[in-house]
Amino acid sequence: MQTVPPALERLIEELTRLPGIGKKTATRLALYILRRPASEALSLAETLSELHKSIRLCGSCFAFSETDPCAICGDARRNTRLVCVVEEPGDLMAIEKTAVFRGVYHILHGVLAPMDGIGPRELKVRELLTKIRKGDVDEILLATSSTVPGEATASYLMEQLEGMQVRVTRLACGIPMGMDIKYADEHTLARAIESRQSMAS
């Protein structure tokens, strides 16, 4: 028997398509939305409808932005000759939060995943190489994740950049700040030892 009203069931199904949202969470969220005033659901609906209309990709760094160039690429105080290459817009947001990086970005929109049919052409690789060939870049900071696909993507880019007049750097890997060494996994610890740094005297 139909004990869940179809309109509610539909919302539960749609929420289940979101990453990390299972049937139980979707049901809880849908019931919450239903219990709250209709105005809140309508407000969320409107925000969702506007989302893709207002946001485009920045033509230079491919970040999500309402303007082209985006706020970062259009900021005269940023060093456009230092380019940080990240996988996803979320990575850009994480790095911006540190307020340490004063260069600009280049968003690949993914990582190499040959098994899923994602090669360099599916990513913004060609656009990056064009930028460098034009001589607009002094340093490329490869800030892909230290996961297997992230490392593979960084290696691929490093090969492509060989012989080009550009310095290539990579985010440092090591023990996370505040972490007890005995809880660090062996790969991280091995990398931290290999990449050990001289103490300033």
Residues that bind its own copies (CB under 8 A): 1-8, 10-11, 14-15, 17-21, 25, 27-35, 38, 40-55, 64-66, 71-72, 75, 88-90, 92-93, 96, 109
DSSP 8-state secondary structure symbol assigned to residue 85: E
Q: Which two tokens stand for residue 83?
A: 């380019």
Give me the phi and psi of 167, to 5 degrees please: -80, 135
Nearer to its own copies, 28 or 170 (CB): 28
Select from 102, 169, 173, 105 the least CA-distant residue to 141: 169
Nearer to its own copies, 127 or 164 (CB): 127
Nearer to its own copies, 67 or 195 (CB): 67
Give the angle 24-26-31 at the CA atoms, nearest 5°: 100
Nearer to its own copies, 71 or 158 (CB): 71
Tell me the C-alpha distance between 55 and 63, whole Å. Answer: 10
To its own copies, the closest distance from the beta carbon of 194 in angstroms equals: 31
